[in-house]
Structure 1
Amino acid sequence: MQLVKVEDKRQVDAFHQLPYIIYKDDKNWVPPLRMMVEDVFNLKKNNALKKGNACRWVLYKNDELVGRIAAFHTSGYAGQFDQLTGGVGFFESIDDQEVANTLFDTAKAWLESEGMEAMDGPINLGENFFNWGLLVDGFMQQSYGMNYHPRYYQQLWENYGFQTYYQQFSYHLNITSPDLPERFWKIAAWMSKKPGYKFEHFRFKKCEKYITDFIEIYDKAWNKHDNYKRIDRQDLRDMISQSKLILEEEFIWFVYRDGKPIAFFMMIPDVNQLVKYFPSGKMNLLKLLRMLYLKRKKVINRCRVLVMGVVPEFQKSGIESAIFYQLRQVLLKKDWYDEMELSWVGDFNPKMISIFEAVGGKKMKTHLTLRYLFDRDKEFKRSSIIVD
């Protein structure tokens, strides 16, 4: 086998060509936009790289392209665990354990040389909203930013020695359905009109204000959990800037109590329902204009919830249900949206799982975040449960 570091245009092309080999007969797979993947490895586009490093490879066997992988680490992610932990992602391989082991060994050796003591995967170099987790259940067309994999990948990862650090569940529902739990909506309507609370949706013209509020809520909601890492303001700016053409202002909500931010909710249209019409994964001005045309034609009927957070003292107060009440009013107007994907919630967060089930969500997909400890004698610990 021949392992080649991705350093020139030829190998970048090979890196993007491989998924078309792996998924050539899989109608559920939607090719990611090439520019979005390349932005991950671009220091000028990905702020996370300024606090870390990344490397990627492609693998040939008998002159045939058979695998690829990327390895990376950032100071924000590595230092939050018992051991310095890097990441691997963008893994693709034929159904061959030797090929997979070669890729994993390569990533492990590089991460060790960078001072890491463990690796998580398949994860992304940046926020966990996108390209995070190994699909093991729910082999359907994935929404935008969600990983899709062949069924045999789980065996390749686990045979190497990766273990489940946590499970990620995705729920689906039609929030406008009259069959959703009546009691839930009564509580939601009551809570949304309670004195002292203000609900408002995002506006681009006040972007910096909402970024500040988002960070404040996020830090308070997550800083006691071992998956917490501080969000960089510039990362949020970049994400909003890169997604501006597809974001809907009324899909992002903030809640305030006596003027102080206490909760947020962020949802995006499922752009994969447009991307599938451009199977090359390459984008140009003409394709972009056609994509915008299709969006105006209301081709997208699904939206994806990216993240939701409530500061601890207001959890279990009904705030979450009140946010869904606001969204329901929006989607009743935008009635071409008939499916909402709540993705994803970790098994370490039973409170949010209960909310997704209370609103009528049905579990449809499961992804795994896996971990491999370089010291094979070290005790493996799963992610801790969020408690009150």
Structure 2
Amino acid sequence: MKLIVVDSALLIQKFLQLPVSIYKNDKNYIRPLDEDIESIFHDKTNKFYKKDNCIRWILTDSSGKTIGRIAAFINELTAYNYDQPTGNVGFFECINDQKSAFMLFDASRKWLLDKGMQAMDGPVNLGSREKWWGLLVDGFYPPSYCCNYNLPVYQSFFENYGFKVFFKQYTYLRNVMERLNKVYYAVAERISRNPDYHFKTVDKAHLNTFIADFRTIYNNAWVNHEGIGEMTNQEADHLIRSLKPVMDEKIAWFAYYKNEPIGFFLSIPELNQLFVKYAKGKLSFAVKMRLLYNKWMGNCKTMYGLVFGVIPQHQKKGVEIAMIVAASESLLKRKVYEQVQMNWIGDFNPRMMHVAEQIGAKIYKTHYTYRYLFDREAEFKRHPLI
């Protein structure tokens, strides 16, 4: 077997094509768009990427066939926030052979060690946590857009190598046609009696306003979380406008207090179901037409909750529940979607897990984020609760 650094267009294609052979008989696998993967490995499309702090390999067998791949990288925003400087591995794929998997892990560990790291997390993204994060260990259903899907055997590869669970990630699913508990309507009614609070959906005709509101809420609610940097105007603008072609205004909600933005519950049609599963990795003209057709015909029955939150000053006041009730009632009236699949919630965030469970959502998928300490005698600590 031979490890080869990915440093040419041909090798990039081999890196991208490997999952096609690995999952050729898996009916649940949906190939990601090539551009969504490649955007991680360029500084123009990923502010966390630096050439000197990222490397990719493919692994080939004696015949030259690609049988594995992995990326190792250092996110300078998060690497030094732990007891040990911690690098990352991600985009791991491998045939069902532990020796091959260990070769990929060994190469990553040695490269990160040479860079001054003392631990590695994986499989994770070089960037924010809402994409390509964690190893799927339960709920092997078709993946959501930009979410990791993998062979079940990968769990044994990571754990036999010595990775330990740093935190667990739960993806919740809820039937949107089921009414909420009456208790929540009482909470929503109390909030609605306060004229200082109001909720509304996105209006694409005034998108600039919602982009500014999104950035304000995001930076107030998430900027202090581990590994989350402040979002710039440019980043917020790019993110929201990139969603515009697929956005359903009626499932993107904002909360306000005295006309100041304080929370959001942003969902979109589930893009893998909407069009990615037809794309075979390429966003062709025909695939774009399929997207428009499916969106127009309402063929996508699953909505994906991208992000949900309220700024700290208005938490535990019932605002989250009131916003959920408003969204739920709208969905019941429209009867367009059948279920909502939420972005993952870490087991380090029991309050948000409780909110999801209280509105009738059930755990649908479980991913693990692993950590491997290079000093095998060092004390391992799980992610602290927030």
Q: Name the TM-score, length of structure 1 as normaliser.
A: 0.92
**1:203-282 mapped onto 2 (5 Å cutoff):** 203-204=203-204, 206-207=206-207, 209-222=209-222, 225=225, 227-233=226-232, 234-275=234-275, 277-278=277-278, 280-282=280-282
Give distance in 1, aligned partners of 2:259 and 2:303: 29
Where do 4+ consecutive residues of structure 1 move more than 6 Å? Answer: none
**1:173-212 mapped onto 2 (5 Å cutoff):** 173-178=174-179, 180-204=180-204, 206-207=206-207, 209-212=209-212
Among all aligned residue pairs of Structure 1 and Structure 2, give the percentage whose two residues are the same amino acid: 41
> What corresponds to 2:145 in structure 1?
144
What's the CA shift for 1:379? Answer: 1.4
Give distance in 2, aligned partners of 1:341 and 1:28: 16
Of 193-202 and 166-175, more deviation after overlay is shown by 193-202
Of 186-195 and 79-88, more deviation after overlay is shown by 186-195
Deviation per residue, 1:121-158 (Å, 9 max, x gap): 11112211111111111111122222111111111011
Give distance in 2, aligned partners of 1:228 and 1:220: 15
Contact 1:274 1:291 in 2 (8 A): yes
Asked if 1:352 is matched to 2:352, the reply is yes
Which amino acid in structure 1 is aligned with residue 80 of structure 2?
G
Contact 1:166 1:368 in 2 (8 A): yes
> What corresponds to 1:73 in structure 2?
74
> What corresponds to 1:329 in structure 2?
329
Asked if 1:95 is matched to 2:79, the reply is no
Give distance in 1, aligned partners of 2:41 and 2:97: 27
Contact 2:144 2:272 in 1 (8 A): yes
Give distance in 2, aligned partners of 1:51 and 1:325: 46
* Alpha-carbon distance change, 8 to 239 in structure 1, aligned in 2, over 3 angstroms: same
* Alpha-carbon distance change, 189 to 6 in structure 1, aligned in 2, over 3 angstroms: farther
Deviation per residue, 1:13-63 (Å, 9 max, x gap): 111111011111111111101111111112222222259832211101122
* Alpha-carbon distance change, 189 to 138 in structure 1, aligned in 2, over 3 angstroms: farther
Contact 1:47 1:235 in 2 (8 A): no
Give distance in 2, aligned partners of 1:343 and 1:378: 33
Task: For residue 19 of structure 2, give the secondary structure of its aligned residue in structure 1.
Answer: helix
> What corresponds to 1:160 in structure 2?
161
Task: For residue 37 of structure 2, give the secondary structure of its aligned residue in structure 1.
Answer: helix
> What corresponds to 1:316 in structure 2?
316
> What corresponds to 1:290 in structure 2?
290
Task: For residue 131 of structure 2, give the secondary structure of its aligned residue in structure 1.
Answer: coil
Deviation per residue, 1:151-196 (Å, 9 max, x gap): 1111101111111111111111122323x32222332343244321
Q: Name the TM-score, length of structure 2 as normaliser.
A: 0.92
Task: For residue 144 of structure 1, give the secondary structure of its aligned residue in structure 2.
Answer: coil
Gaps of 5+ in 1: none
Which amino acid in structure 1 is aligned with residue 320 of structure 2?
E
* Alpha-carbon distance change, 208 to 84 in structure 1, aligned in 2, over 3 angstroms: farther
Contact 1:164 1:369 in 2 (8 A): yes
Contact 2:275 2:290 in 1 (8 A): no
> What corresponds to 1:104 in structure 2?
105
Deviation per residue, 1:52-92 (Å, 9 max, x gap): 83221110112221100111222222233223222211110
Which amino acid in structure 1 is aligned with residue 121 of structure 2?
D
* Alpha-carbon distance change, 109 to 193 in structure 1, aligned in 2, over 3 angstroms: farther
Task: For residue 304 of structure 2, give the secondary structure of its aligned residue in structure 1.
Answer: strand
Which amino acid in structure 2 is aligned with residue 53 of structure 1?
N
* Alpha-carbon distance change, 190 to 133 in structure 1, aligned in 2, over 3 angstroms: same
> What corresponds to 2:55 in structure 1?
55
Which amino acid in structure 2 is aligned with residue 93 of structure 1?
C
Task: For residue 165 of structure 1, give the secondary structure of its aligned residue in structure 2.
Answer: strand
Gaps of 5+ in 2: none
What's the CA shift for 1:111? Answer: 2.1
Count residues in correspondence. 384
